[in-house]
Amino acid sequence: MHAVSYTAQWTAAARALESEREDPLVVDPLARDLAAPQGFELIDRYGGGGLREFVAIRTWFLDDLIGRLDGVAQVVLIAAGMDTRAFRLTWPAGVEVFEVDHAPLIAEKQRRLDALGAVPTVTRHAVAADLTTEWLPDLVAAGFAPDRPTLWVTEGLTFFLTEEQVAGLLAVLRGASAPGSGLAVDIMGKALLRNPFSKPFLDALAADGTPWLFGTDEPEEFLAAHGWKVVELREPGEPGVGQRRWPYEVHPRSRRGASRHWLIRAEVVRG
């Protein structure tokens, strides 16, 4: 098992490449060092398909949501990987950030950050936890308070889970959410998994042991069934969401069978 997953590596590589454009959507000065050892090789391997553009737009979308925090005391990054928001964003006073991932990645990431002299711009807690087991006690032990409003950020995670695992994760997050808590998440459309143009990319992911498994074409209904109300639903390429960067047409919602990537903000439903 790699200390730094392939996904964490190629996502960091995509952020690095975006940062080096003349007109970047996001700037991550740490990303190139965090993409080692194979991030750029993996980006080339998976190639095309709007992957680099999607990572840039998704990163910008989630950065923007975090920048609009209102009344949230805690931000929890689930399967944080090589995320650097705790170092590159400006945070409201009093907010705490928790980065949750498996212990080898947490340790390797910290080693690299220390070598770079990186200093967080927010109170940051790195939480080593096994997300396949009961991980909330580890988060609470790190200082997380379930009675404080929380923004949960699950970026680039749901693709790799089964439908049952995604449902279970949403239930866990809902159960640990005080009133006023929210969720920022990206979910793939189910049609994308069946699109023949996606097959080379999906086959390459599967060959590397990281297959994409879950998608839904009805994200509002799926999240509502598990305790979350969608309040913002966007797609890459829409006006204001990377419109000039997304290389594909954005189809109207009424068109069935279109390949989609959902960018979502949701609120917890209590009661």
Q: Provide the pLDDT for residue 223.
A: 98
Q: Provide the pLDDT for residue 261.
A: 93
pTM of the prediction? Answer: 0.95
| R_g over Cα of the chain | 18
- Tokens representing 98? 């928790």
Q: Provide the pLDDT for residue 2.
A: 56
* Alpha carbon distance 183, 179 (integer Å): 12
In 100-189, alpha helices (H): 103-116, 136-141, 163-175
Reading the chain (271 residues) residue by residue, the pLDDT tens digits are 355 688 899 999 999 999 999 999 999 999 999 999 999 999 888 866 688 999 999 999 999 999 999 899 999 999 999 999 999 999 999 999 999 999 999 999 999 999 999 999 999 999 999 998 999 999 999 999 999 999 999 999 999 999 999 999 999 999 999 999 999 999 999 988 888 777 887 888 888 888 888 999 999 999 999 999 999 999 999 999 987 888 888 888 888 888 889 999 999 997 6
Q: State residue 238 phi and psi, 5-degree precision.
A: -70, 160
Helix (H, G, I), strand (E, B) or coil at 190: helix
Query: Domains in the chain, start-ordered, CATH in brackets?
Result: 50-268 (3.40.50.150)
Which runs of E-coded beta strand occur in 199-260? 228-234
Can you say how many angstroms the Cα of residue 212 is from the centroid of all Cα atoms in its chain? 14
Question: Exposed, middle or buried by CB within 10 Å (0-12, 13-18, 19+), for 26?
Answer: buried
* Alpha carbon distance 253, 238 (integer Å): 12
User: What b/e string do you get for 180-200 counting C-beta neighbours within 10 Å, with b at 16 or more?
Assistant: bbbbbbbbbbbbbbeeeebee
Q: Provide the pLDDT for residue 1.
A: 36
Exposure of 134 in the CB half-sphere (CA atoms within 13 A)? 3
Q: Provide the pLDDT for residue 258.
A: 84
* Residues pairing with 233 in the sheet: 264
Q: In this structure, are residues 84 and 28 in contact, taking their beta carbons and an 8 Å threshold? A: yes
